[in-house]
Structure 1
């Protein structure tokens, strides 16, 4: 009985050994992904296009070893020390793959890279501040300024060569109440490969009411100095004023207007051409008046 058990155990051991031996010798094919690691980059140069994150390697090898490849951290080192500015082709060298001679390399995808290489430079450019948004129809944009008004940008030389200014757009709506000014920190509109310093600038927009000019006929207020009587050549004047269009939609603005004849500090009897002053509604200014002076006769009481 003991001898029979020994024979059985020996047979089982031989079977297992034979299975491992046969399995280890079995050859299989598979694809392996390898991340690409760039080494020795030339100072000041950047790869604009064509660099891949990984390559795929099709290989053949013993089944037992191939099965363990997925647990190994295999990377392909791409030496870019000899790159020059412009487009160039770099071959993927199968001899540099981190694999032993146990494996047969069948195919590499891609087997070459078309790289676009550029120089990294910096330059100073002006900013073009812009406001974009909905605005009350009675108002208008007066000005937009940025602080600072110039920035330094860095990036590929071929792209920076075409950039002389950059837009900074502030988007804000004022459909009803409109402030005199509004400020925000705004980022620059630049290509993804281009960096700016600073990355944001302060943009301020200034608004004001839309205006128009109108002629207004106003009565002349005459208040003679103490001890005098005054007679004037006309008791009204015409004024050309500029003001907000919203103000002139009705005649209520006239309630805030007064025209006074100016006699001066040392009145005396006689006939004079006297000036007059007009008090205007807020936001209005005098453009022209007719007549410029009023013929006035002063007499003592």
Structure 2
């Protein structure tokens, strides 16, 4: 075959030229898409990813969770960085308690081929590493105001009354107790429950969030102790040796403020126990009392009753003798 004939060149192009032609076309396309594409400088936000933090340590300070990274490269590649899950990885496997400063060099950010990191802001990450501890805190209630007139605070119980918090030793060591926000007792005249938020330091809020507990508020009547002498009434039909008894009682202040006389609303009655020959003193309160009286003691509480006289024996029946005529 002649080397310069038409048939020769057609065969060469068919066997060797086609692959070369395809390579040239692919190179042109690649150059257009990469080399010929417009390059840009722009800033992207890259998250900070902390790895291998030891269990006994905790990061106790606030630090920037995202970095501003200025990059240079093809527009299409840079626009797709957000989908590539690129992050600034910080390995703390060998960390110890204290302050750790980590430099954000351009080489610390892994970016796609063709993209160059120009600058990272901030240039460092400062981490305060602290021991992780658990500490128990008692809850101290803070109150303002007073219950309604005539009432007093009997008991104030927090539920829960202690809270266990796990966090940095440097933060938890600053506190010995946790306090509530102000609990207003003004005008309370009955036992009740309230939901009360804790008054927490911002550093504690970061650990456990805004926290609310239950306050069980128990109120009772204000009492004043008095001694009264009451006449003793009974239906025993006996001459009882005790005519009056002493009564010791806690009297609600509200009742006294109403001008009620206790001698008019309390009655001392004697309940007779005939089997044992005693009388038991009972104090009966009027049914219309707005607030009951608390009886503490009665003197005497038990009275020995006199024994009833035995009835005179009946005379024996008359006995007739045989010699005596019968009386008509």
Q: Same fold (TM over 0.5)?
A: yes
* 1:247 has 2:255 as partner: yes
Give the drift of 1:31: 0.4
Give the number of aligned pairs.
263
Counterpart-to-counterpart distance in 2, 1:222 and 1:100? 106
* 1:283 has 2:293 as partner: yes
TM-score normalised to the size of structure 1? 0.64
Q: 1:192 aligns with which of 205, 208, 228?
A: 205
Asked which structure has the greater RCO (Cα within 8 Å, sep 6+), the reply is 1
Contact 2:247–2:295 (8 Å) recurs in 1: no
Q: Deviations over 1:204-236 (max 9, x none)?
A: 3322012234576x553465963538797xx8x
**CA RMSD between the two structures:** 4.7
Counterpart-to-counterpart distance in 1, 2:76 and 2:32? 9
Counterpart-to-counterpart distance in 2, 1:176 and 1:127? 22
Give the drift of 1:95: 0.6
TM-score normalised to the size of structure 2? 0.60
Give the drift of 1:81: 2.2
Higher fraction of strand = 1
Counterpart-to-counterpart distance in 2, 1:165 and 1:83? 31
Distance 1:215 1:154, change over 3 A: same
Q: How does 1:12-31 map to 2 (within 5 A)?
A: 20=32, 24=36, 26-31=38-43
Match of 1:12 in 2: none
- Structure 2, unaligned stretches of length 5 or more? 1-27, 301-305, 310-328
Q: Deviations over 1:176-223 (max 9, x none)?
A: 6513xx457877665224459xx887753322012234576x553465
Counterpart-to-counterpart distance in 2, 1:176 and 1:149? 22
- Structure 1, unaligned stretches of length 5 or more? 1-15, 268-275, 293-297
Give the structure with higher Rg (CA).
2
Contact 1:47–1:115 (8 Å) recurs in 2: yes
Match of 2:303 in 1: none
Instruction: For residue 228 of structure 1, give the secondary structure of its aligned residue in structure 2.
Output: coil
Q: How does 1:43-122 map to 2 (within 5 A)?
A: 43-100=55-112, 102-122=114-134
